[in-house]
């Protein structure tokens, strides 16, 4: 366990990403553009060897945040530091060094693997790009990587379509590991897999974290996966982090009304816990026109008059548990 | 009495020059006022059962054996015109993607009125009145204005509510819901599932066949559940009993492999090997190659469902 005084491996400060949407074909001429605030003033940190889970429903901005953290998108505001270097200020050589240390695993391996490349070529591609070792060393490394993720060297000659969904996700993991990264951002890595295959994949990711001291940012909507995996959890709603806490504390006592609503909406796989379900009513508002003040106030059972006027800041309350809610002011 | 009974249903797909059995000898009863869950992993045949009941199978599929009884009527013996009259009136279906059921070119008011007038002898004025009432029942805000809106103007959750309104327009006795909330966020999922229970089961006493891969959904909303593996039902029973004491080795493994948000970390149980593909399912128990209790007998044909002490029916030679 890292102490909080240690420098975090990854740190975001006031990170925002706004997309401009043009309304209709003539909108650009008329100047009626609307900003979608996908990520809005997000600050977070991840310590080496730990797992931060970013949880939220569709449209919460969690995937956009993941891409910002890897500089796959440029921010509208804010900074991201990897080992104290600002990743958006990095020049070519520095950026190249950053990219080998920070990798991504995507949700749908059938969409992220090139269908025309053999498995061996896919896993070898990062090694080729970074000119790692000789040709035979690369071949050996590919073989070792495939075996490490539970595939065999026989799979190296196969094409992605010849593998099952779970095996394809292992290929994605092997390719992400090829350059021995320190940080892996996993965007819904098990969402398209069946539960028994999901369990195999999660076990593999846990072993790899142990073996290679990996730091994970896990982007997911599945709280079962979060509970199983995360050290810390950040809950997002309409572009903002509404609560951030150690996983134990968050699951024991969620503080933000949205987090509470989210937890209560999940059907536990246990019929003895069949409670009178009280899921939050209404739908998340459009991120194009988020409600003023706290974005959750129109759906919040505990909303107060000031909630529609004041945007609550994310305030640390106790032992690293932060909440953005006026109830706790 | 049961609303819908399957008796020895088998469905095949034509692939690579031969017929391959996707659903093998499946039987179950759906009773009034219950939600029966049909649960299993991708490719186990659960959706094929739904499409077999509705007879909406693709051109390369056929039902090779069995009966699908809606009350006394065997749906497999009906002419297409008679079937068409039953679909949407006595038995309806909703899908994972609600857009499957909605026509993008017509307003939702038009689509509701069309369904009502196709099955009921009512005039336009009455159909409009009922359409409005249906939209209100499924919780569409500002229903009167929304009748004039097109499907693309609704979110995924609202579209599924509209698909549900169309499905229940003629008060069906049976609703088949094929992964109705899989594409939706969890807060919306809870709302849709509650709506299905209230409108179909509590208010009308209809039966719902809920197809899902989500054991949490089964635990919270189903009364009984049938677990499928590689084309067969391997275990079937009351939800409480089955979750408390799963009997089939596959059901046990499946429940053990779930990461729970109420359980701390640790290694998850996994199932060795993988699901056999349609072309090479074993002749005996389909789970035998992955089962920790396999015996020689397991290769002698698919074991039948047998009632066991804990109340559920299990297809496994361990309980002979």
Query: What is residue B274's predicted lDDT score, i.e. its pLDDT?
Result: 81
A283 chain-B contacts, CB cut-off 8 A: 155, 157-158, 188
In percent, the amount of chain A with pLDDT more than 70 equals: 94
A191 chain-B contacts, CB cut-off 8 A: none
Q: Do B254 and A195 touch (CB under 8 A)?
A: yes
Residue A268 lies in a domain: no
Residue A318 lies in a domain: no
Q: Does the pLDDT of residue A32 top 70, yes or no?
A: no
Residue B90 lies in a domain: no
Q: How confident is the model at residue A3 (pLDDT cuts 50, 70, 90)?
A: very low
Q: Which domain holds residue B264?
A: 251-320
Cβ-in-10-Å burial (0-12, 13-18, 19+) of B251 comes to buried
CATH code of the domain in which A218 resides: 3.40.50.300
**Among A199, A268, A279, whose Cβ lies nearest the Cβ of B257?**
A199
Strand partners, B238: B224
The encoded tokens of residue B253 equal 């493994």
Cα–Cα–Cα angle for B215, B217, B221, rounded to 5 degrees: 125
Q: Do A270 and B243 touch (CB under 8 A)?
A: yes
Residue A142 lies in a domain: yes
Query: What is residue A5's predicted lDDT score, i.e. its pLDDT?
Result: 61
The pLDDT of B255-276, averaged and rounded, is 75
Q: Which domain holds residue A52?
A: 10-246
- Taking only the tens place, the pLDDT of each residue in A64-106 is 999 999 999 999 999 999 999 999 999 999 999 999 999 999 9
Query: What is residue A272's predicted lDDT score, i.e. its pLDDT?
Result: 85
Cβ-in-10-Å burial (0-12, 13-18, 19+) of B150 comes to middle
Contacts 24+ apart (CB under 8 A), A120-126: A120/A146, A120/A155, A120/A156, A120/A157, A122/A160, A122/A171, A122/A175, A123/A156, A123/A171, A123/A174, A123/A175, A123/A178, A124/A178, A125/A175, A125/A178, A126/A100, A126/A175, A126/A178, A126/A179
Query: What is residue A228's predicted lDDT score, i.e. its pLDDT?
Result: 84
Residue B85 lies in a domain: no
Residue A304 lies in a domain: no
Total domains, chain B: 1
Residue whose entry in the numeric block shows the structure tokens 């076990």 = A203
Residue A171 lies in a domain: yes
- Taking only the tens place, the pLDDT of each residue in A103-127 is 999 987 778 899 999 999 999 999 9
Q: Does the pLDDT of residue B188 top 80, yes or no?
A: yes
Q: Do A164 and B244 touch (CB under 8 A)?
A: no
A164 chain-B contacts, CB cut-off 8 A: 274
Query: What is residue A2's predicted lDDT score, i.e. its pLDDT?
Result: 42
Nearest CA in chain B to A56: B185
The pLDDT of A213-236, averaged and rounded, is 92
B42 chain-A contacts, CB cut-off 8 A: 165, 194
B217 chain-A contacts, CB cut-off 8 A: 267
Residue A107 lies in a domain: yes
Residue A151 lies in a domain: yes
B251 chain-A contacts, CB cut-off 8 A: none
Nearest CA in chain B to A299: B187
Measure in Å the smallest separation between the Cα of A221 and chain B Cα atoms: 8
In percent, the amount of chain B with pLDDT more than 90 equals: 80
Nearest CA in chain A to B225: A271
3-state class (DSSP) for residue B282: coil
- Taking only the tens place, the pLDDT of each residue in B210-231 is 999 999 999 999 999 999 999 9
Query: What is residue B278's predicted lDDT score, i.e. its pLDDT?
Result: 86
**Among A197, A251, A274, whose Cβ lies nearest the Cβ of B220?**
A274
Q: Do A283 and B213 touch (CB under 8 A)?
A: no
3-state class (DSSP) for residue B121: coil
Query: What is residue B264's predicted lDDT score, i.e. its pLDDT?
Result: 58
Q: Does the pLDDT of residue A17 top 50, yes or no?
A: yes
**Per-position b or e across A19-30, b if 16+ CB within 10 A of its CB:** eeeeeeeeeeee
Q: Does the pLDDT of residue A203 top 50, yes or no?
A: yes
Residue B162 lies in a domain: no
């Amino acid at each position: 366990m890292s102490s909080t005084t240690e420098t975090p491996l990854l740190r975001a400060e006031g990170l925002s990403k706004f997309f401009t949407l043009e309304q209709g074909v003539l909108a650009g001429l008329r100047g009626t553009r609307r900003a979608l605030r996908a990520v809005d003033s997000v600050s977070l940190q991840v310590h080496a060897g730990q797992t931060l889970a970013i949880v939220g429903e569709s449209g919460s901005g969690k995937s956009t945040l993941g891409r910002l953290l890897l500089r796959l998108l440029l921010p509208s505001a804010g900074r991201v530091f990897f080992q104290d270097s600002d990743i958006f200020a990095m020049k070519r050589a520095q950026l190249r060094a950053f990219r080998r240390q920070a990798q991504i695993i995507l949700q749908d391996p059938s969409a992220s693997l090139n269908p025309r490349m053999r498995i061996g070529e896919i896993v070898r591609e990062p090694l080729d790009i970074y000119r790692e070792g000789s040709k035979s060393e690369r071949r050996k490394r590919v073989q070792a990587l495939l075996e490490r993720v539970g595939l065999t060297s026989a799979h190296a000659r196969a094409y992605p379509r010849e593998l099952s969904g779970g095996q394809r996700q292992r290929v994605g993991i092997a390719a992400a590991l090829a350059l021995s990264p320190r940080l892996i951002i996993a965007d819904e890595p098990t969402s398209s897999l069946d539960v028994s295959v999901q369990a195999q994949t999660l076990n593999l990711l846990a072993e790899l974290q142990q073996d290679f001291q990996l730091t994970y940012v896990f982007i997911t909507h599945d709280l079962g996966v979060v509970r199983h995996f995360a050290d810390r959890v950040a809950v997002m709603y309409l572009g903002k982090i509404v609560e951030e806490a150690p996983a134990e504390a968050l699951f024991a006592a969620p503080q933000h009304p949205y987090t509470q609503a989210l937890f209560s909406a999940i059907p536990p796989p246990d019929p003895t816990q069949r409670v009178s379900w009280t899921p939050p009513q209404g739908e998340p508002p459009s991120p194009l026109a988020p409600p003023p003040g706290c974005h959750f106030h129109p759906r919040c059972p505990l909303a107060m008059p000031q909630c529609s006027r004041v945007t609550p800041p994310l305030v640390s309350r106790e032992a690293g548990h932060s909440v953005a809610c006026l109830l706790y002011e | 009495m049961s609303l819908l009974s399957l008796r020895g249903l088998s469905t095949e797909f034509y692939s690579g020059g031969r017929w391959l059995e996707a659903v093998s000898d499946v039987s179950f009863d759906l009773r009034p006022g219950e939600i029966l869950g049909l649960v299993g992993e991708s490719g186990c045949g659960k959706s094929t059962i739904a499409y077999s009941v509705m007879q909406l199978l693709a051109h390369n599929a056929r039902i090779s054996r069995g009966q699908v009884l809606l009350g006394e009527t065997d749906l497999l013996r009906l002419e297409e015109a008679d079937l068409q009259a039953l679909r949407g009136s006595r038995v309806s279906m909703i899908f994972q993607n609600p857009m499957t059921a909605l026509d993008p070119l017509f307003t939702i008011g038009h689509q509701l009125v069309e369904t009502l007038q196709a099955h009921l002898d009512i005039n336009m004025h009455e159909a409009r009145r009922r359409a409005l009432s249906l939209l209100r029942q499924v919780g569409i805000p500002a229903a009167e204005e929304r009748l004039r809106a097109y499907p693309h103007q609704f979110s995924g959750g609202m579209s599924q509510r509209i698909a549900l309104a169309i499905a229940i327009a003629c008060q069906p006795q049976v609703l088949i819901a094929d992964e109705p909330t899989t594409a939706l966020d969890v807060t919306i999922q809870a709302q849709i599932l509650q709506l299905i229970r209230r409108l179909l089961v509590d208010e009308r006493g209809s039966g719902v066949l809920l197809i899902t891969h989500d054991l949490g959904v089964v635990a919270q909303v189903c009364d009984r559940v049938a677990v499928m593996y590689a084309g067969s039902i391997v275990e079937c029973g009351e939800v409480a009993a089955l979750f408390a004491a799963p009997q089939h080795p596959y059901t046990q493994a499946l429940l053990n492999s779930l990461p729970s948000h109420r359980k701390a970390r640790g290694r998850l149980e996994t199932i060795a090997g993988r699901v056999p593909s349609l072309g090479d399912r074993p002749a005996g128990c389909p789970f035998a190659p992955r089962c920790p209790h396999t015996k020689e007998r397991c290769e002698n044909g698919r074991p039948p469902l047998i009632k066991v002490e804990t109340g559920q029916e299990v297809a496994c030679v361990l309980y002979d």
